[in-house]
Amino acid sequence: MSQRRELEKLTGLDNLFGDEAEQSLPNSTLLLSQIILPPSQPRRYFDPVKLKSLADSIKEVGLLEPIVVRKLEGDKYELIAGERRLKACEIAKLEEISVVIIECDEKKARKLRLVENLQREDLNAYEETIGILELLAEELNIEQEAVVSLLYQMNNETKGNSNHNVMVSEEALAIQRIFLQIGKISWESFVSNRLPLLKLPSDIQAVLEQGQIEYTKSKEIARIKDNEKRQNILKKAIEENLSLSVIKELVGDILQIQSESKPQSPQQQNKERTSKIYKALIKSKIWDDEKKVKKVNRLFDQIEALLEEKKEDAS
């Protein structure tokens, strides 16, 4: 099996880069000090507990699957795939690591890293969204913002909200092809369910980009609309590595306080006032006073007249 197919796990992405096969050299070992990370890595978050568990496993039985690298100048090699395994080997304090060395240029290396990242089983929704956008931007050779704009244009056209024929453009056809090859999600569902994640608060997106917190935890914290309170909880969650259940409790408390302190609208105030008057009338001894009962009945007549006017206006 070729190295490209090893990277792509036979998920339909094996035709994504055309028919050019990367040349791979026999498996080898390198010093960890020889391996450098590229300027930008697709993967953001690494669960520290799972990383420690993998490191312990490597200490006991060794590294079962080599990482993938490409040769640079001198004695240095750049990581293509396997950052989690590399980090675990560093934690295990190994000096050497098994590698597969492939020959490819920088552009192909970026694509391979993006594809390999999309095959992760633990990929969360935010990481997958960013990963797909990065892959589309790389394939179309445009900025991610332009990819997002194009996706929205395609979505508007399919819904009949646009007169532009963007769906038959070269870029739109390429996007449709890539989503079919990815096989995880349709481009329509991506627009509806994934692009909204880009509207998460900027502080939430920042920590997700930096891999400082899990997506599920950050999504819960994002429910807090008050910037200062959200940032305080976010900082506490990261520094103390709070569990999701603890975060839910803290967020729930804040939302409850905000709900109770939120000023009522005039409509809500009037409804509450009506409810209080009704309850007071039921318990009141006003019904024993004939004169007061007549006044109350006159008020009832006026209310009923107003309600009838409302019905006539509605019809």
Q: Say whether both 96 and 182 belong to one domain.
A: no
Its pTM surpasses 0.75: no
Residues 59 and 135 in one domain: no
**Is residue 118 one of the residues assigned to a domain?**
no
Q: What is the CATH number of the domain that holds 53?
A: 3.90.1530.30
Q: Which has the higher per-residue pLDDT, 225 or 45?
A: 225
What's the rounded Cα separation, in Å, for the pair 167 and 2?
A: 35
Write out the residue range of the structural domain in which residue 227 sits. 200-261
Tell me if 311 is assigned to some domain: no
Q: What is the spatial distance between Cα 40 and Cα 31, in angstroms, rounded to a whole number?
A: 22
Q: Mean pLDDT over all residues of the chain?
A: 84
Pairing of strands 23-24, 96-103: antiparallel
- Give dist(CA 246, CA 240) in Å, integer: 11
CA 83 to chain centre: 21
The per-residue pLDDT for 1 is 39
Q: 38 and 28, same structural domain?
A: yes
What is the model's pLDDT at position 268? 75
Q: Are 17 and 71 members of one domain?
A: yes
Question: Which has more confidence, 90 or 113?
Answer: 90
User: Could you report the per-residue pLDDT of 69-104, keeping only the tens digit for each?
Assistant: 999 988 999 999 888 899 999 999 999 999 999 888
pLDDT at 92: 93
Cβ atoms within 10 Å of 180's Cβ, excluding its own? 11
Predicted pLDDT of residue 263: 67
Residue with the larger pLDDT of the pair 311 and 266 = 266
Domain assignment present for residue 25? The answer is yes
The predicted pLDDT at position 143 comes to 93
So what's the pLDDT on residue 13? 46
Inside any domain, residue 112: no
pLDDT at 315: 57
Report the distance separating Cα 50 and Cα 57, nearest Å: 10
Residue 305 inside a domain? The answer is: no
Side-chain-side CA neighbours of 50 within 13 Å: the count stands at 7
**Does pLDDT of 17 surpass 60?**
no
State whether 33 and 81 are in the same domain: yes
Is pLDDT above 90 for 292? no
- 65 and 130 share a domain? no
pLDDT value of position 313: 66
Q: What are phi and psi of 35, to 5 degrees?
A: -100, 130
| Residue 243 forms part of a structural domain | yes
Q: Mind listing the pLDDT tens digit for each residue in 122-143? A: 777 888 888 899 999 988 999 9
With tokens 């997106």, the residue in question is 205
207 inside domain: yes
> Rounded CA gap, 269 and 275, in Å?
10
Same domain, 204 and 192: no
Q: Name the pLDDT band for 280 (thresholds 50, 70, 90).
A: confident
Domain count, the chain: 4
Tell me, yes or no, whether 308 lies in a domain: no
- 249 and 232 in a common domain: yes
Do 8 and 100 have their domain in common? yes
pLDDT score recorded for residue 213: 86
Q: Looking at the structure, do residues 174 and 222 belong to the same domain, yes or no?
A: no
pLDDT in tens, 144-155: 999 999 999 999
**In a shared domain, residues 205 and 152:** no
In this prediction, residue 26 carries a pLDDT of 62
pLDDT digits (tens, 9 = 90+) for 22-53: 555 667 889 999 999 887 766 767 878 888 99
Q: Which of 105, 139, 170 is the last residue of a domain?
A: 105
What band does 242 get if pLDDT is binned at 50, 70 and 90? Answer: very high
Range of lowest pLDDT (177-181, 231-235, 242-246, 303-307): 303-307
**Is pLDDT at 266 greater than 50 in this prediction?**
yes
Quote the CA–CA distance of 311 and 101 in Å, as a whole number. 79
pLDDT at 23: 56
* 245 plus 279 within the same structural domain: no
